[in-house]
Structures are given as structure tokens and as C-alpha cells.
A = this chain, B = another copy of it.
Amino acid sequence: MAELTAEKKKMVQESWGLVRSDMRSNAADFFLFFFKRHPTYQKLFNDFKDVKYEELDGNQKFRGHAVRVFFAITSLVDNLDDLDIVVDILQKTVKDHIPRGIKAKHYEDLMGSILAFLEKALGDKFTAAWKNSWETVAAVILSVVHAEIEADLTPAARENVQNSWGLVRKDMRKHAMGFFLFACVVVLFSYNGKIRSVMSK
């Protein structure tokens, strides 16, 4: 991985400063751009998965989510000189999104789209040096994301094991119930026999 030098950090912060100056509309524009590149991803957002693409821009939940993501990116960009904080923010983000089915591929596509969006939005201002700096930052971010997803596999694997045990247990219960019903039938037949034998006495 290319080194994340102080110069590169500064260039990323400088370029993000331009996005930040109009955060709300840039955030919404980015998500429209993102969903155009990856149309199936809108379905991952319960709050606005069924909103028509053309109506997304006016949707409060969509705008809110877009702004939250852009603030999360700001918190990463602002803390590039203290990578412990960057790692902590990313770990928390990955953990929170695992139950929502968000995987490494989604983060990769998100980062790829952010670079493409910056290139599109900033035009000529987005120099080769800026692009290169963003590529390095994206690689750092994704390496933390991958590590965290792998680390989280352990409890997930444990949960899977527990779930499969749950099925086995459920099955045992079902079989026990079946056996119980069978036993009831046997008892009824036995009583029936007894009753008949009593009646015939």
C-alpha cells in the first residue's frame, strides 16, 4: 500500500473542504450518483428503498442519510493525522452495518464512487496528485474495513453455529411432539381396549 504522507493527507483535506462547503446538496448529489452506478443498492436502505429514483432528492430520510454519511467521511478526513481515531470510527461503522447486510464489496463500491464523484464534481481542480492522495486514503480505509469484517466473522460464525443448533433443537422438539401424539394414540387405544374389556365383563 502506498504511504499516506502528510502531503497526501493535506490534499485530501483540501479537496474535501470544497465538498464540505455545500455539504447537504453535495451529499444528496453523491447518493443519486451512487445509486445510478449501483441501482440495486437503494434496496439496502429500509427507510427509502421503495422511493422512486426521481423522488429521492426530496425525501427527508434519503437526505438525512446522505448527510450522515458525508459527516462520517468528514470525521475520517479530519482525523487523518490521528489514525487511531480513523480506525475506531471505521470499526464502529462496520460493526453497526453488519446486521444490515453491508459487506466489503459495498464499502469498495462506495469508495470507488466517491473518487469518481470528486472527479466529476471538482472537474479540473481534481488534479492527478489529489486523485492519487484519495486513492491512498481509500486503500487505508478499505484495509481497516476488511480487517474489521474478518474480525467480526468470529461472533457471526458463533451465531451461525448457535442458529443451526437452534434448528436441531427445534427439530428435536418437533419429533418429541410427534412422539407425544403417537403415545396419545397408543394410550387411547389401550384405554379403548380396557373400556371394551370392562364393558364386555
Which A residues are within 8 Å of any B CB, using their own CB?
Answer: 23-24, 60-61, 63-65, 67-68, 71-72, 74-75, 78-79, 82, 84-85, 87-89, 92, 96, 173, 176-177, 179-180, 183-184, 186-187, 190-191, 193-194
Report A78 CB to chain B, min CB distance, Å: 7
Say yes or no: A63 contacts B84, CB within 8 Å.
yes
The residue on B at minimum CB distance from A76 is B71
Q: Which one of A24, A60, A183, A191 has the greatest number of beta carbons of chain B within 10 Å? A: A183
Q: With A and B bound together, what is the CA distance between A13 and B154 in angstroms?
A: 43
Q: A194's contact among B75, B78, B190, by CB below 8 Å, is which?
A: B190
- Kindly report how many copies of this chain are found in the complex they form together: 2
Q: With A and B bound together, what is the CA distance between A53 and B1 in angstroms?
A: 37
11 CB < 8 A contacts A-B = A24-B85, A60-B85, A60-B87, A63-B85, A64-B85, A64-B92, A67-B88, A67-B89, A68-B88, A177-B180, A183-B184
A85 partner residues in chain B, CB cutoff 8 A:
24, 60, 63-64, 67
Q: A60's contact among B68, B88, B176, B177, by CB below 8 Å, is which?
A: B88
A180 partner residues in chain B, CB cutoff 8 A:
176-177, 179-180, 183
Q: A187's contact among B65, B74, B87, B186, by CB below 8 Å, is which?
A: B186
Besides A60-B84, A64-B85, A67-B89, 7 other A-B contacts (C-beta < 8 A): A65-B88, A68-B88, A71-B75, A180-B180, A183-B184, A190-B190, A190-B191
